[in-house]
Amino acid sequence: MSILSVTGVSRAFGGVHALQACSLEVDEGSIAGLIGPNGSGKTTLFNVVTGYVRADQGAVRFRDEDITGLKPNQVFARGIGRTFQLTRIFERLSVLENMLVATQRQEGWLRGLTRSKSSAEEVATALELLDFVGIAELAELQAGALSYGQRKLLELAYVLVADPQVILLDEPAGGVNLTLINRIAEKIRALNAQGKTFLIVEHNMEFVMSLCDRVTVMHQGCNLVSGTPEEVRRDPKVLDAYLGGGEEEFEEVAGG
């Protein structure tokens, strides 16, 4: 049963149709991949789902609820977390404070004024998650001092703070070394085993093909093909979309 479904979503920026009647189903408990050439609308789709960009048409549903047009904070509060392609952290806050920003509380906004930054319990959860991604020893460091890879891990960690059901990762393996890519893949598998659903945009084919249960290929703003990694790998339409023919080159990209 699908936990997240996108139906017929369109979005244009001026004359550019970033998304055209794009549809996508993500099954609960799965790791879904989203691939496609640059400019095919993957990030725009993420932005529509998480409320950063309004859809001109179409609907986004999370479980049984229509979440189309909700604000990013409301989407996050419902249990959909995301990371960004270029990591975005709060550089002048400490790593631990970065985690605490994401802490969700069921309290009126005025209560935030009188309540302290964090309870002992919240700090413990934050440290646990930092430990999970492997940067707990950096908790007191100013986040601006982190390396690119550490930032990726921090971003993953603070999205987990609110215990989201669905996690959208925008190029988690982009620009990091192989060891770290493997570590990130391992964390994703561990979280998936705990029941978390993933939707991952990624250009690293090996990463996508080895990790994902289902892969959707996007092309010019719409979903072209969906299937298991094997099916997608063999689909001629995918090769056309990526390379306009030229089978050998795709084999190279796919690492096959």
Partner 1 sequence: MRHWSRAAWALGLAALALFPVVVSNPAYTTIGVFTLIYMACATSWNMFSGYTGYIALGSAVSYGVGAYTMALVSIHANMTPGASMFWLVPLGGLLATLVAVPIGAIALRVRRHTFVVITIAIFFVFQLTAINVGFTGSTSGLILPFISWSESYYNLPFYYVGLGLVIFATILSAVVRRSRFGLQMLAIRDDEDRALGLGVRTTAVKLTGFALAQFTIGMAGALYAMFVGQIFPQFVFDPLFDVSIALMAFLGGFGTLVGPLLGALILESFQQWLTLSFSNSSLYLILFGALFLLVILFMPQGIVVFVRDRVTRRVAREKAAVAASETTLAGSGA
Give the binding site for partner 1 (CB under 8 A).
50-52, 71-73, 75-77, 82, 84, 88-93, 97, 100-102, 104-105, 109-110, 112-118, 158-159, 161-162
Judged by DSSP in three states, 157 sits in helix
Taking the least distance from each CB to partner 1, the nearer of 71 and 189 is 71
CB of 73 to partner 1, least distance (A): 5
Sheet strand arrangement including 2-13:
16-27, 2-13, 57-62, 65-66
Q: How far is the CB of 72 from partner 1 (least distance, A)?
A: 4
Nearer to partner 1 by Cβ, of 84 and 132: the residue is 84
Residue 88: CB minimum distance to partner 1, A: 4
CA distances to 3, 35, 52, 63, 240 from 28, in Å: 5, 19, 23, 9, 30
- The minimum distance between CB 198 and partner 1, in angstroms, equals 17
Q: How many Cβ atoms sit within 10 Å of the Cβ of residue 97?
A: 17
Return the number of the residue (99 or 222) whose C-beta is nearest partner 1: 99
Residue pair 118/103 in contact (Cβ under 8 Å)? The answer is yes
CB of 167 to partner 1, least distance (A): 12
Q: 22 or 159: whose CB is closer to partner 1?
A: 159
Phi, psi torsion values for 45, nearest 5 degrees: -60, -45
Q: How far is CA 3 from CA 79, 80, 214, in A?
A: 11, 10, 14
Please identify, using beta-carbon distances, which residue of 15 and 92 lies nearer to partner 1: 92
